Structure 1
Amino acid sequence: MRHVVAALVAGLMTMSLAACGGDSDADTDSFTVGLLLPSKAIPRWEHSDKPLIEKRLKELCDRCTMEYANAESDARRQQQQVISMITKGVSVLILDAADTKALRSSIREAQRAGVPVVAYDRLAEGPISGYVSFNGAQVGRLQAEALLKAMGEEASRGSVVMMNGDATSPNAAWFRSGAMSVLAGKVEIGRSYATQGWSTDNAYANMSAAIAALGPDRISGVLAVNDAVAAGVIAALKTAGVRDLPPVTGQDADLDAVQRIITGEQYMTVYKPFKAEADAAAAMAVALGRGEKLDDIATTTTDSPTTKGVPSILLTPRAVTRDNIEQTLIKDGVYTIDQICTPKLRQACSQAGLTG
């Protein structure tokens, strides 16, 4: 009897395994994607990118699951998160590296474990399998062009303060190089700073130093790399008693930045359609999880300092000023007029042509 039972169990296991092997959906559509984002200092990561990626993953692969972690600007923590996700058995990682160089060894660990990595928004070093971002040089050019327009005749008289991104991010250099391709020879760069952690507090400290060194009257414009940095810049200018604020740029279309644009405190931001970026990353992750190549998804290739010819998608950013909020952010469903136009901003919104 024991032999008969054993034979029956063995037969059932064989049938079960054979059924799984014959069902390609069971093999390819039941995996976990790990999503690792770099910080909570920039609102878009938690408010836009995470939910958009999760939603698109489910649309592309309804039996797939997502594991999520945020590094909170700590590269060592993110290294541990990568290893933890590999240990949990994720099939593919979407990684926005808190420090692109520091994460190189962790990406190698993922490769050794057979876990492909899609670099998201920042070009991580190491053996990545795909890359999705926006054209960083174009981001910088849009900021610089808008700044020159806003400064007008003041461009030739005063100084511009460059409030760049974190020096550990390759995007920071990419943005700056795009901006300088427009500004070089047209304005005097009075001061230039790297903003550690892309932090509002660090931007405030750097801008306060620039005001002390140059004097508020000599600052004709501020090229702030993103909206979190712009918030620190504007706060420092106000603290210094500057009432007629110089034009200040931004990036990421954060809600509070859009509201500052409505009130005239911030001149512009760069809108990077997050849904398109999230959709592209999810498509790459699902393809890699299914063991497919990225030839039909990637539109170009990118060389990192360690890897040549990475299949890539580089999307197009858009400049947003007070004049085109409705045609960009509201049209794309990023925000509603009610979200932007709180009771205290209704008059400013009305003047900007934003009415519900």
Structure 2
Amino acid sequence: MERLITTLLATTVIAAASLSAAVAEEKSKIFFLLPNETTIRFESRDAPFFIDAMKQKAPNVEVVVQNAQGDPAKQQSQVEDAIAQGAKVILLTSADANLAAGELAAAEKAGVPVVLYDHDAVGGKADAHVVFDSLAVGREQGKRAAELINAMSKSPVKVARVKGNQGEYGTTQYEAGQNEFLQPLIDSGKVQVVCEQYTQNWDPVLAQSFAEDCLTKNGGDVDVFVGMNDGTTGGSVAALISQGFKPGDKLVTGGQDATVEALRYVAQGWQDNSVLKDLKVQANYAADVVASIVDGKGVPKDLVNGKVNNTFMDVPAVFLPVSNITKDNLGDVVKAGVWTWAEICKGIETSEVCKQNM
């Protein structure tokens, strides 16, 4: 009898230990939902940076990355799937901010916190928004465009404005920031806007098509293309290349994200600038917010320095700083550890900037 009792106790202890080990091994799941593959930074930079940051700040957490591939309906399904899998937090970069209310409603109903990353999401509850100061980005773009335009002797300077996704908080703020510098030039007659259009889902192919149509409509007489991110400026560059122009024939400005492709255009003279948003910094701040929520401490109050109204509420915002990158200070990107000269100069080693720095 004693031997039987001893055996039963031993079995119970082993079973309990095994159960405890299984529970210990089971990690909390965080879902990082990306918007598309056309804005390449999210797959190639943001997601890896966030995963690395979470390993440091919350090693007991598993990060699941999924991409909506530009389809808001697919992202809605991904949100619902994340909830079904027991997501502790959803880090959301909306595929279409204007169609994200259903995603936010599903998460709120399930009691799953949502942290917005870069893109806004309209019409529902979100716990925080980690984003570079969008108005500051627009101001940097507008200031640079105004400098370039004022340096031109002709008047009026014919400008095409290639805007972002209509209705998004970011697009609205970029436009407002740009207008602080461009509107006075428009009012004075120094600038004539010959074409302008929003770019659905920030699609570079649509931006290129618009730029090509604008060039054709105006017989090639367009002096400056002002975009809102490296996708829209890249579309303008592609249009110029397709119609036989050379670097410097037209000005392309208004870049944003400092993608390696855009920086190559800057090095070659196709594109004038890109607003640097240090994505490693953004990913780290997002990890700080997410790790704090997972730990039951909520959004860190010391990180919140603003708000973003998404028509449903004022979402607590973690605004991050930005800076403008041109050919003259291209090395700042390298110093910041965002890209190396080897990465920037891949395939364009003979450009003057690269010959000086390789």
**TM-score, with structure 2 as normaliser:** 0.88
SS in 1 for 2:350: helix
CA change 1:295–1:239 in 2 (3 A) is closer
SS in 1 for 2:327: coil
Answering whether residue 214 of structure 2 is matched by residue 210 of structure 1, we say: yes
Shift of the alpha carbon at 1:342? 2.9
CA contact (8 A) 2:341 2:354 kept: no
**Partner in structure 2 of residue 174 of structure 1:** 173
Matches within 5 A, 1:305-344: 305-326=310-331, 328-342=332-346, 344=348
Shift of the alpha carbon at 1:284? 0.8
Q: Distance in 2 between matches of 1:185 and 1:137?
A: 18
SS in 1 for 2:226: strand
Q: Distance in 2 between matches of 1:295 and 1:155?
A: 52
**Partner in structure 2 of residue 201 of structure 1:** 205
Answering whether residue 113 of structure 2 is matched by residue 116 of structure 1, we say: yes
- The letter for the 2-side match of 1:288 is I
Cα deviation, 1:213-254, whole Å, max 9, x if unaligned, reads 22323x221111111222221222233333442211211111
**Partner in structure 1 of residue 188 of structure 2:** none
Matches within 5 A, 1:66-215: 66-125=63-122, 126-151=124-149, 152-154=151-153, 156-186=155-185, 187-215=191-219
Matches within 5 A, 1:293-312: 293-312=298-317
- Larger deviation, residues 271-280 vs 289-298: 289-298
CA contact (8 A) 2:204 2:234 kept: yes
- The letter for the 2-side match of 1:65 is E
CA change 1:347–1:237 in 2 (3 A) is closer
CA contact (8 A) 1:272 1:318 kept: yes
- The letter for the 1-side match of 2:183 is A
- The letter for the 2-side match of 1:147 is A
Shift of the alpha carbon at 1:277? 0.7
CA change 1:348–1:73 in 2 (3 A) is same
SS in 2 for 1:212: helix
Q: Distance in 1 between matches of 2:299 and 2:228?
A: 31
Q: Distance in 2 between matches of 1:114 and 1:76?
A: 21
- Larger deviation, residues 152-161 vs 46-55: 152-161
CA contact (8 A) 1:287 1:294 kept: yes
CA contact (8 A) 1:161 1:189 kept: yes
Tell me the percent identity.
26
CA contact (8 A) 1:302 1:308 kept: no
Of the three residues 220, 229, 239, the one matched with 2:223 is 220
Answering whether residue 281 of structure 2 is matched by residue 276 of structure 1, we say: yes
- Structure 1 unaligned runs (5+)? none
Shift of the alpha carbon at 1:4? 7.1
Q: Distance in 1 between matches of 2:348 and 2:17?
A: 64
CA change 1:305–1:46 in 2 (3 A) is closer
CA contact (8 A) 1:269 1:320 kept: yes
Q: Distance in 2 between matches of 1:292 and 1:307?
A: 24
CA contact (8 A) 2:107 2:113 kept: yes
Answering whether residue 230 of structure 2 is matched by residue 231 of structure 1, we say: no
CA change 1:156–1:30 in 2 (3 A) is same
Q: Distance in 2 between matches of 1:9 and 1:118?
A: 46
CA change 1:308–1:347 in 2 (3 A) is closer
Shift of the alpha carbon at 1:11? 8.0
Shift of the alpha carbon at 1:84? 0.6
- The letter for the 2-side match of 1:272 is K
Cα deviation, 1:139-175, whole Å, max 9, x if unaligned, reads 1111121122223124742211100012253211221
Q: CA RMSD in A?
A: 2.8
Answering whether residue 272 of structure 2 is matched by residue 267 of structure 1, we say: yes
**TM-score, with structure 1 as normaliser:** 0.88
Q: Distance in 2 between matches of 1:57 and 1:272?
A: 20
Q: Distance in 1 between matches of 2:85 and 2:302?
A: 28
Shift of the alpha carbon at 1:285? 0.8
Of the three residues 253, 262, 279, the one matched with 1:257 is 262
- Larger deviation, residues 80-89 vs 288-297: 288-297
Of the three residues 32, 35, 39, the one matched with 2:32 is 35
